[in-house]
Amino acid sequence: MSDPIAAVVDAVASTAPDVREGLVGRRTYEAGANPSGERQLEADVYADELLEARLLDIDAVTGYASEEREPVVRADGEGQYFVATDPLDGSSNLRSNNAMGTLFGVYDGTLPASGDDLLASGFVLYGPITTMVVARDGVVTESVIDGDGSRRVVTENLTLPDEPTVYGFGGRVPQWTDAFADYVSEVESELKLRYGGAMIADVNQVLTYGGIFGYPGLRERPEGKLRLLFEGHPIAHIVESAGGASSNGERSLLACTPEELHERTPLFVGHETYVDRLEAALSR
């Protein structure tokens, strides 16, 4: 196979129309709980099974890991790449018909791994238009995904704009630590609030308009909500490749290796100045 990573990107792109189509009849059915103990929707399972089939069909892919299932699924054969996915990010937005997406990261070697082991990462955003953002070799490209699953590149080298404009932070305000709440008071006097409940859609606003997105550690949940492998690594890889920064509150998310597959982490991505100020605020 000439370019296995391109084959992974094309496989994810080719699922986009089918995922989008499959959402219609699966808006409110619950399938149970996922390994993080969170509500699992039928749409989560549908997207997960579609991606597993398409990705394990690639000879070079030997392992498939997902937010929606416990162990890594291993394929036979001589493959060397592992793909970790969040099949449907922001799936609680389905009932309210708001944006959501699919996240993936390609690792050369077994999971869990450090974010520095990522060879490529990307997301599909099911917005008014279905788009796909891919980071590979330090370059971020944005494509439109057509109804047949083909990709048309619309932005060759996507980089964060010079000026930050928007911010969005998850978690209930009373659960924010004092240090984080003080930091947000500064940020909210400088930027506009944009928070929609789906990380991919909110981060795409940061990629487009500049700023910062985060889901902090909380008083009763210091590890936060988002998963390091399935959400932190790919989104950090994309934003850092676009000239931004990421953090778990102390260091780049790419420098972090989960001890267990579904480990959660505080997560921040966006303009380096805001990430630096955040780390300083949390270190006081």
Q: Which residues bind ligand AHG (CB under 6 A)?
A: 38, 67, 86, 89-92, 170, 197-199, 215, 225
Q: With respect to ligand AHG, which residue has the nearer C-beta, 104 or 215?
A: 215
Residues in binding contact with Mn ion, number by CB under 5 A: 6
Q: Report, in Å, the least distance between residue 3 CB and ligand AHG.
A: 28
Return the range that interacts with Mn ion (CB under 5 A); candidates 7-15, 62-70, 148-156, 235-243. Answer: 62-70
Q: With respect to ligand AHG, which residue has the nearer C-beta, 60 or 203?
A: 203
Q: With respect to ligand AHG, which residue has the nearer C-beta, 17 or 197?
A: 197
Interface residue with Mn ion, options 42, 48, 86, 240 (CB under 5 A): 86
Q: Report, in Å, the least distance between residue 67 CB and Mn ion.
A: 5
- Bridge partners (DSSP) of residue 148 are none
How far is 260 from 200, CA to CA, in rounded Å?
23
Q: Please enumerate, by residue number, every residue annotated as part of a binding site for Mg(2+).
A: 67, 86, 88-89, 231
The encoded tokens of residue 251 equal: 């260091």
Query: Comparing C-alpha atoms, which of 80, 65, 106, 107 is closest to residue 227?
Result: 65
Q: Please enumerate, by residue number, every residue annotated as part of a binding site for substrate.
A: 89-92, 195, 225
How far is 82 from 220, CA to CA, in rounded Å?
33
Task: Provide the angle, in degrees to the nearest 10, between the axes of the packed helices 233-241 and 199-209.
Answer: 10
Q: How distant is the alpha carbon of residue 269 from its chain centre? A: 11
Q: With respect to Mn ion, which residue has the nearer C-beta, 92 or 165?
A: 92
Q: With respect to ligand AHG, which residue has the nearer C-beta, 5 or 45?
A: 45
How far is 279 from 284, CA to CA, in rounded Å?
9
How far is 71 from 90, CA to CA, in rounded Å?
22
Q: Report, in Å, the least distance between residue 150 CB and ligand AHG.
A: 26
Buried b / exposed e over 89-123, threshold 16 CB at 10 Å, is bbbebbeeeebbbbbbbbbeeebbbebebbbbbbb
Return the range that interacts with Mn ion (CB under 5 A); candidates 30-38, 106-114, 117-125, 153-161. Answer: 30-38
Interface residue with Mn ion, options 42, 48, 89, 202 (CB under 5 A): 89
Return the range that interacts with Mn ion (CB under 5 A); candidates 32-40, 110-118, 180-188, 234-242. Answer: 32-40
Q: Please enumerate, by residue number, every residue annotated as part of a binding site.
A: 67, 86, 88-92, 195, 225, 231
Q: Is 205 left (phi over 0), alpha (psi -120 to 50) or beta?
A: alpha
Which DSSP letter does residue 232 get?
I
Q: With respect to ligand AHG, which residue has the nearer C-beta, 164 or 232?
A: 232
